[in-house]
Amino acid sequence: MSLAQSTLDLIHELGNLIQDQEEEEEDNDRTMEEQIRQVLLALNALVGSKLLDKALTLASRRGAIHEYCSTPSGRLLYRVKGDNNAEYKVLLTGFCNCRNFMMERAGTELPLCKHILGVHLAKKQGTCERKIITDEEWSELYV
């Protein structure tokens, strides 16, 4: 399995755990927390602590990540407010227009930057703010 796929699998698992945690009774919280910790450790081992920490920070920052869903076609684009208020465009098919991604990550074994990983995490944590826009508006955002 590729490194990128393993990372996505872990994020998926993390999402399920977060969801389970919300449904569980309090006395199970400890085990859930421990499981979440284990998944985060595994993610950490795959992508490195620097990238993971930055992505987690982004994902937990209110209003840092917006999801733009086009109607009627349902295409998704994300705008992520990064450092110095710079804004980046992310597609979950594996694209970000930040310098780090374009210069160092695109086309590698692990095509992820903190913004892409941040969007994945924010979606699981439910911290992504969603906006519905028209297909025309979406195309304008995309270019």
Among 7, 10, 70, 101, binds Zn ion (CB under 5 A): 101
Question: 72: buried, middle or exposed (CB in 10 Å: 19+, 13-18, 0-12)?
Answer: exposed
What number of CA atoms fall less than 13 Å from residue 25's CA on the CB side?
Answer: 1
Binding mask 44-83 for Zn ion (x = CB under 5 A): ----------------------------------------
> Is residue 98 at the binding interface for Zn ion, with CB under 5 A as the rule?
yes
79, 115, 120, 123: which one binds Zn ion (CB under 5 A): 115
| Nearer residue to Zn ion within complex by CB, 73 or 84 | 84
Q: Which is nearer to Zn ion, 59 or 98 (CB)?
A: 98
Helix (H, G, I), strand (E, B) or coil at 111: coil
Burial degree of 34 (CB within 10 A; 0-12, 13-18, 19+): exposed
Q: Applying CB under 5 A, which residues contact Zn ion?
A: 96, 98, 101, 113, 115
